[in-house]
Structure formats: structure tokens, C-alpha cells
Amino acid sequence: MLKFTRRAAIGGVMSVAVFAATQGCLTAQAHADGVHDVLNGLIASYSEHAKEGMSNKSVGELFEKDGFRDYLDAYPVGGLADGFVWKPGMGATFTGPYSKLEIKAPFTDYIPLPEGPVLDPKKTYKIGFVFHGFNHPWLISLADTAAWEAARHPNVEIEVIDAEFDDNKMGQVIDTWVAKKYDGIVLWPSREAPMGPPVDRAIDAGIPVVSVDRRTSSEKISSEVLGNFYANGLQEGLYLKEVLKAGNMVLNRKDLGSTADSIRTGAFLEVIGNVDGFNIQGNYHTNSQRTLAFQSTADALQAFNDISVSFNTGGEEAMGALDAIREAKRLNSAPDGKKIVILANDDAKEVLKEIADGNIDMVSPYTPLIGDIGIRAVIKHIGAKEGLNDAPPKLIMTPNLPMITKTKMVIEGVETMTPDEWPYAYGPAVN
Amino acid sequence: MIIAEATSAPAVRASGLAQIIREPMLWLVLSILVLGALTSPHYLSALNIQNLLRNAALVGLLATGMTIVLITGRIDLSVAANMVFSVIIAVVVTSWIGRELGLRWIVKGNTFAGSPLIFVVISLLTGTAIGALNGVGVAYFKVASFIMTLVSLTALRGLSYLATNGAPFYLKGAFFNWLSDELWLGVPVSFVLLVVLVLFAHAFLSRTVAGNRLFAIGGNETATLYSGITTNRYIVASFALSGLFAAVGGLVFTARLKSVEAALAQGYELTAIAIAVLGGVALAGGTGSLWRVLTAAVGFSAGLNLLAIWGVPTWYQNLAIGAVLILAVSLTRLNHKN
Amino acid sequence: MTIVEEKSSINAAGGWAQMRFLPEIGDLSRIVVLGVLVVAGQILYPGFLSPENLRVVLTAVAGIGILAFGMTMVVITGEIDLSVAGVAVLSIVIGGLLLPTGSPALIIGATLLCGLCLGLVNGIFVAKLGVSSLISTLAMLGIASALANIFSAGQATYPEKIAEYMWFGRGALLGVPVPIFLLAVMALACVFMTRSSTFGRKLYATGGNARAALLSGIRIDRVKIVVFAFCGLCAAITGLIESARLGYINPAAFPGLELKVLAVTVLGGAALAGGTGSVFGTLVATLIIGVVNNLLNQMGVSFYMQQVVTALVILVVVVPGMRNRRFVK
């Protein structure tokens, strides 16, 4: 159980002050107004073109083989709740209860909930937060934001449990919380299919359940806070198309069939599917392990001497690929002595440092700082159950975030951010 | 031969009230339940006990199969991979049969809605066949069981991905609901299934010649060989039984999740070994009681459930499992020395 | 360790010691397999034998190879060590906690010492308490991984400022990358330890026939403690190399490492029953695995198919050497 420390309380107070300050200076940088809608527009148009067919054979074949169409069509893309418009600079600053790191979370004003007691002040509300991987920076940051939000409300108690990537264990944790009659459950599922039944059981027991980032197969779930996988893969494609017209690519992908892989890689392929110059030379599943991404890239560099692009579905993959390219001294080994273009996801601090140093070329931010949205949504669902407020929408889109590049660029109406402009990076700083 | 069978006798004839009272595992389960009742109002609720028994059913099935192999002095690391693989193959083959019959047994791309009977038969056959294959490798090709089953573990995981392309199959229908949720006199049907299967397996081990020979092989293989018994086929049989139990475990496991996919149940083989050891099975072979393993499965689930009820973080749960395991084997060992 | 195996007439003749020093037929077959793979690789990919690709193959397996040497010695004594992944992770995490001190000697020393001590604990449990090594090291795997998470609070650290630490992964000695250099040094040291020293004789005697070894005055408990401690040290060295290559000390590192290392050890001819196996065989097996992985990746074979192929390679190499045994557990 999370203990409410004085530091967390002070952090909460400070965050309000910081928020007020950032609001003040925001008017000056409203340039990225509506980046969410701009990216959604691009998703729709590229998706449409891809459906008409892909002229690039190499891309089209892979797209067909792994069945990306089915995954992409099922993934929701849409507007933000309550007409929210996210702008760079928004959000509260606080110290992560678990990581002890300074965090600036981008979406603390989305589905807002004022600090202080919630719903019926005389009652205490118990919320369970279950996820996987309390030893990965992305996931610790996710738990940080969830615990921070809970700590803002004195009558909310949160229990945070790591199911260690065992779907069955996550199901058992949820079943235990049903037995303990918790008031609400928030989960970060690893895979969709196995988490449907436990979520349904909790809903049937009258407990609101909200999933964050990834989805479950439950149709009864109270709300889903969705990640922005589609915009991630899309922007990797947009950037590549902008800087290169042709070249050989090596892909480091996540677990076959996982949402992160299906949507990001699928969206990337949709964008470049009608650019004939690109050729997929290597296609690896390195399952979010840096060591495996290192190895596949090292081997691919030996097999092919004219790689122009390293596409990575995550930050771990990109760091592994970069390390392998550096170890082989091949950073500038693309045809005509050009640099290998490295595309990444996940705005970890280590990735941003490599962007600033010019080693990784672009990253689509995939922020873990969304646990707070899940907690607020589940509190509102509890309130709706008690007749105290309206329920939040079932699908809660997370605002799409613009890509980060070393220097500012405008690509098809998307204004990129530079590492200096990005206060939301997560994880430990590289000294 | 005589000596070997004599060593297995105490484990086989563990009955009578006096012996039951002396079971340390039983006392452990009782004290966990009492501790749970004292510290949480929810621990002894019907729902929580049912949750606990469902978990015990799954790990108990794997541990029972594992125990049968451990009794022969061998080990089966492939149980968890086999459990997932046999269900995947059952979905793939049953839906193929459906197609041949002109029936749509896979709907909406990946939801299985075929005949549960054919599905169950094929999954049990697949699990048993994989087990038998392990047994043949160990008995006839003389590959150490640790290696043989480690190799199948790796291969089955890879094949499960290749057979599904990483996508899940949803399992819909009355059969899966029944296996997952049905209660008999308040007891989950999966736990009843475990108890019935343990009853049969125990009778097989203690009352049949074949069962006694498994103990004999584990107790003194050379003597058993010299007494003219063709040990190889018994070894194959023990692995086949382990595969069968893994397949039943697979049905219980996937029915609860109403889906199956390649990545599930990683590392469950280690839980199965841990429970068998907590149940007093010696890895050297020749001894082991399925009733104690059943009690250990309940004790393991009850303990983990209590930690979950208390909200103990996962890392400390893992620490506790490791500590209990090492304590249990050390105590057994010291007891043995005395 | 449960896996007991019939020792045929070798024991009766009392000739186990001499037997170990004869060239092993199994090693020859492994060398042939490696040779075939290398020739096939060179035909498929003209750059296969280039110094660059050899560097890739060797650095990739250096860590696993060093750990497999330690594991081989444990297996020769008839025991097994499933805790290596946990030991490696806890060791580097301890080093990572000391990064703020900035003292390379302290950081690297603590990493290695942690591995050594955990190995020592494993050895004491097995040798003094007589607990099954499969279970006690399985428990140690869980405990060490849990402690690594608890101590680090799950957070990764970056050793990149400590040049001496990074040397283990990215440095070079006389033009040879340090991981490869360490692999060679450890291979030589281990071959010397197992083949030509009195310790080697004790090692094989302990696993071959513990009773005979006891009767001939060998303290098998000490031998076992030494090999477990050494295996723990190897795990720490592997952790050091791998974390330095990535510049990343990660408490979630090395999932399933113990099984990969065991696969290499067995591929190298060590039987889990104890008494057989050689460091040289393990070295050849390490190279086989390295070449297979490199070729499969170069050919673009999917990760999942690679698992199936690796399993088959192990069976194909291991099975023929097994036929002449009466029975094996």
C-alpha cells in the first residue's frame, strides 16, 4: 500500500503553482494548437490510401502477411473528451512517489479533478492499480502518476501491484480485489484477450474498471484510456518520408501480435507503403529486450552493407540498435556515406539525449505519464455509480503528441519539438 | 526389485487418522487459513476460497503430472509450454476439421466456437503425445530428461507462436464457462476435477503393478533393470501422463481466461516443481505422495492468496516463495539426516 | 541433483582420472559441426569470416560462454546452478548502487564480490546441508532477482561515466575487444583448472563417483563449494560485460539466462549426471550457438522459428553421444 508522505502532499501543492505558471506562458507558444486533430487527419488520409493498395511490394507483402489491416481497423482513433485541447507546456510537476524522480506529467488537466476529498468526503475509497513490470522506467513512471493522483485525494487509498507479465496472475489480483470489495480497479494489461474475463467478473460485481494505455477484450469495461500508438507509427513514417526517398530498412519490432507492435508498425507501413524506394531487408521481433535488438541489428549490419534505416517499435529497441551500430562503427555507413536514420518510440530521457547528440534521428513520444487519467476516470465512475456526477466517456483518447527531432521541422503540418522543448521525458537521467 | 518396492510402501500407505495428523503441510494450510481469518474479513469469504481453489487446481494439475515423472527420478520442464501448445493445436485442428465438414468453427477471425468434445479430445491427445515424445527421447535415445524437456519447452514456445502468428484465439461457449465458473456444492468444478484425477492417479501409483514399477525405477533403476523389467516403456508412460495432466491443466487455465495465446504461463514449470518439492517429493526419485502434493498445491495457493489479501508487493511475495522453498528442503533434509 | 547416470566399467577400473585426459571423441564431432556451419556460412555470406563478423559473433556469445564455463564445472560435479541469472542481476545492481561513489575499484569489486558470495551461499547449501541444487538454486534465483528489484527500487542506472566499468564491454586490448579477450582468458584458465591441475582430478572424481572420491580422500564438499563460488563469480563477470556493452544496468536484465547457459553447457558435452564434460567442449558449443544465431539473423529467420531451430541443433548434436549408455535420467 502506498503511504501518504508529507513530500507527496507538498508535491501536490507545488504542482498547482507550477501549473498556474505554465498556463501563463502558454499563450506565447500556442503554435502546436490542435496537434491531436492534425495527426488524426493524417492517420485517416494515409489509412485510406493504404486501403486502396500499396505500390511498394516489399512493404505490402509484410503488411499482408502479419495481418496489420485487422488490428488497425479495430483500433479507435477519435477526438478528446470534453473538447479538450492539449498544448505543449501543460501539466503538473511533482516528485514521483516510486521513482523519486522529478516528473512533469502532460495530461493532469485532462478529465480534471480538483485536489482534496472526492465524492462523499466521509467515505474512504479503495482503488487497486495493477500493471506489469515495476522494474522498467516506463512502467514505474506509469505507477508514479497513478499514485500521485491518488495521493491528491485524502479519502482515496491506492494499492499498487506488479503482476510481472503473467496475465493469469493479473487475473488473480483482480479476483482478489473483487473479494476484498474494492471501490474501483485500474489496470495496465499486457495482452488483450486474457484480461477480458477478470474485468468482466469485476464489472459484474459492481466495481468500475478502467484500463490505461493497452486494452482488454472486455466489452463491459467502464472506460478505456487509450494510448496513441497510431500517431506513433504514423510519425515515424512521416519523418522517414521527409528525409529519405529510398533505402534499405531493418525493423526491430515488439512481440508479434501485441498492440504496440501491430498498431505502430502497421501505421508506419501504411505511410511508406506507397513510396517505392524503400525495401525491408530485415524484420526482427526483439520483444522489448535491448539485448535482442542489439544482437539482431549487429547481425543485420554484417549481412547487409547498405542499410539506410533502422526502424524501432520502442525505446529499448532503438537504444539496442544504436549501441550495435556504434559498436560496429557503422553510424555513417548508409549509401554515399550518409548516416543511418534511426527511428524510435518512447520519450525516455536516454533517448532524448541521443536525439540531442544527433545519434537517434526522431522519436515519437509515448508517454507513460497517463496513470493519473485512469485514476481520475475510475473515481468519476464510482461517483456516477453513487449518483454524484456524470460518467466519463467509455473511450478516453489520450492526446496525440508531436514527434521530437534535433532541430525544429514542419512535416505535413506537424511541427516537431526539440529535446529542449520537451519537459515530459521519463526515466532516470543519463549523467 | 523387492527392495525397491519396499521403499515405496510408506508413501503409498499413508492413510489413517494418526498419519493425517502428522502431515506438516496440512497444519501449514490450516494455520494459513486461521491467520487469514484473523487478519482479514474477506479471507474466508466463499468468493475468496473459490478463487484460491481455482488457482490450486491449475498449479495442482501441473504439479501432479510433474510428480509422476519425478517419482521415476526424472524431470519434465515442458509442462507449461505443453499446456499452452496442446490447447492451441486443439483450436487449430478442430477448426480445420470443422472446415472439412463445412462448418464455421472459427468465427470473427479468431473466436473458437467449435465442438467442445473434439476440442477436448484433441488437446488431451496432443498433450499426451508431446509427453510421450519426451519419454521416447529420454528412455530410448538416452537424452537426459532435463535437456530433452528443456528442448521441447523451447521448441513448443516457438511453435505456438508460429501456429498462431502471435494472435490470440478466443474460446467461447458453454463448455468453457462451465469449466471456468461452475460450482459443485460451492467448490469450483476445476478443483473437483483435480481431486478426482489425483484419486485415479494415486490408485494407479499405489494399487497397480505399473504404478509400483515407477517407484521401483526411481528407487533403484539398476535393480529394476536386472529384475527383467523393460523400464523404457514405463518411463515413456510417466512422461505421457505428465503430458496428459499438462493438457488438462491447459483446459482449466485457458477456460478461465476464455482465450489462449502463445505467450501465456511462462515459467509455470518452476511453480510445478516447487509445489512437488513442498509436497515432499524427492528429486532423486522413488518417493512421492500425490495427496501431499495436492495439499501442497492448496497450501501454496492459500499462502500466495493471503499475501495478496494483505497487499504485499510482488517482490516480497517472490522473496517469500524463495525463502519457504529453501526452508522446506533444508528441514526435510535435516529431518532425513536425523 | 537428481539426474543420476549409470557409470559403467570406468569406475570399476578406477581409471576415471586418466580417461579425462584423452582427447574426447564428442569434442571432435562438435568441431566438425562447427566447421560445417562455418563453411556453410562462408558460402551463404561471403563476409561471414570477415574480422568484423567474427567480432560480432564472438562478442555476442562472450558473456554466455564465460558463464557456461562456470556452469560446466558445476555440472561436472553432478550439480546444477539455476540461479545464475539472478546472481548476475543482483551483482550488477549492487555495482549500480555504488555508481555515485565514482570509485571504479569499489563498483567493480563489489559486483564481483557479490557474485562470488552468492555462489558461495549456493555451494554451502548444497555441500553442507545436502539440499538438492536444483531446488536451492531455483530458490536463490527467485530471492536474488527479488532483492535486485528491492535494492534498486526497480530503477535502471547508467555506468557510462565510469570508464573502467565500460571497458569490460566496449574496451579493447591489443585490438581485441575486451569481451572476446576475457572469453579467451577465462577459457584458458578453466581448461588449465580442469585438465592439468590436481583440482581438475578432484572435480571429475567428485561428479564421477562421489564414494570413490571420498574414499580416496577428496573433500567433495569443498570441491562443490569452490565450483559454485566460481560459477557465481562467472555470473558477475557476465553481468559486468553485458551491462557495460549496453551501458545500462537494468534490474530486469537476463530473463531466462540460466536455460540458455545450460543449453550451451549440454551442447558442449557435459552430462547432467556429472563426471563428464569439458571446458573445451563448452567453448566449441558456445561458438556453435554464436554462429547459428548469427546466421539465422543474417538469413532473416523469425525469432520464433529460431527457437525451434536452436532446439533441433541441440538434439542433433547431443543425441548421438548418448546412445551407448544403459539408462539416463
What domains lie within chain A, and their CATH numbers? 2-65+229-365+403-421 (3.40.50.2300), 87-228+367-397 (3.40.50.2300)
B198: three-class secondary structure by DSSP: helix
| pLDDT for the residue C86 | 97
Q: Does C297 lie at the interface with A, CB-CB under 8 angstroms?
A: yes
Residue A80 vs residues A75, A401, B257: alpha-carbon distances, Å? 15, 13, 32
Residues of C in contact with A286 (CB under 8 A): 303
| pLDDT for the residue A8 | 40
Interface of B with A in 174-203 (CB under 8 A): 180
- What's the gap in Å between the CA of A288 and the closest CA on chain B? 14
Nearest CB to A159; choose among B51, B266, B311: B311
Residues A298 and C80: their CA atoms lie apart, in Å, by 32
Lookup result for grid cell 487527419 = A41
Residue A235 vs residues A279, A404, A422, A428, B231: alpha-carbon distances, Å? 19, 10, 17, 25, 63
Residues C284 and C277: their CA atoms lie apart, in Å, by 12
Residues A422 and A418: their CA atoms lie apart, in Å, by 7
CB-CB under 8 Å, C152 with A428: no
Residues C119 and C141: their CA atoms lie apart, in Å, by 11
H helices, E strands: number in chain A: 13, 16
**Residue A336: left if φ>0, alpha if ψ -120 to 50, beta else—which one?**
left
The residue ranges of chain A whose pLDDT is under 50 are 1-32
Residues B317 and A189: their CA atoms lie apart, in Å, by 20
- What's the gap in Å between the CA of B313 and the closest CA on chain A? 6
CB-CB under 8 Å, B55 with A194: no
Q: Does B258 lie at the interface with A, CB-CB under 8 angstroms?
A: yes
Residues C310 and B4: their CA atoms lie apart, in Å, by 39
Residues of A in contact with C147 (CB under 8 A): none
C-beta of residue B106 within 8 angstroms of C-beta of residue B96 = no
C138: three-class secondary structure by DSSP: helix
- What's the gap in Å between the CA of C273 and the closest CA on chain B? 8
pTM: 0.89
CB-CB under 8 Å, C328 with B155: no
Structural domains in chain B plus CATH codes: 3-11+23-337 (1.10.3470)
Which helix (H) or strand (E) segment is C5 a member of?
none
What is the secondary structure of A291-329 as a DSSP string? HHHHHHHHHHHHH-S-EEEEEESSHHHHHHHHHHHHHTT
Alpha helix ranges (H) inside A218-348: 229-243, 259-272, 290-303, 315-327
ipTM (interface predicted TM): 0.90
- What's the gap in Å between the CA of B233 and the closest CA on chain C? 13
Residues of A in contact with C42 (CB under 8 A): none
Q: Which of C123, C121, C16, C60 has the alpha carbon at shortest distance from C296?
A: C60
Neighbours of chain A (3+ CB pairs under 8 A): B, C
Nearest CB to C146; choose among B137, B319, B333: B319
C-beta of residue A304 within 8 angstroms of C-beta of residue A248 = yes
Condensed to tens digits (0 to 9), the pLDDT of residues C233-290 reads 999 999 999 999 999 999 999 988 998 999 899 889 888 888 888 999 999 999 999 9
Q: Phi and psi dihedrals of C145, rounded to 5?
A: -65, -40
The residue ranges of chain C whose pLDDT is under 70 are 1-26, 320-329
| pLDDT for the residue A11 | 40
| pLDDT for the residue B338 | 60
Residues of A in contact with C170 (CB under 8 A): 327
Q: Which of B139, B160, B112 has the alpha carbon at shortest distance from B262?
A: B160
In a structure prediction context, what are the per-residue pLDDT tens digits for chain B, which is 338 residues long? 333 333 444 444 445 677 767 777 888 899 999 999 999 999 999 999 999 999 999 999 999 999 999 999 999 999 999 999 999 999 999 999 999 998 888 887 789 998 999 999 999 999 999 999 999 999 998 888 988 999 999 999 999 999 998 889 999 999 999 999 999 999 999 999 999 999 999 999 999 999 999 999 998 888 888 888 888 999 999 999 999 999 999 999 999 999 999 989 998 999 999 999 999 898 888 888 999 999 999 999 999 999 999 999 999 999 999 999 998 888 877 776 66
CB-CB under 8 Å, A179 with B42: yes
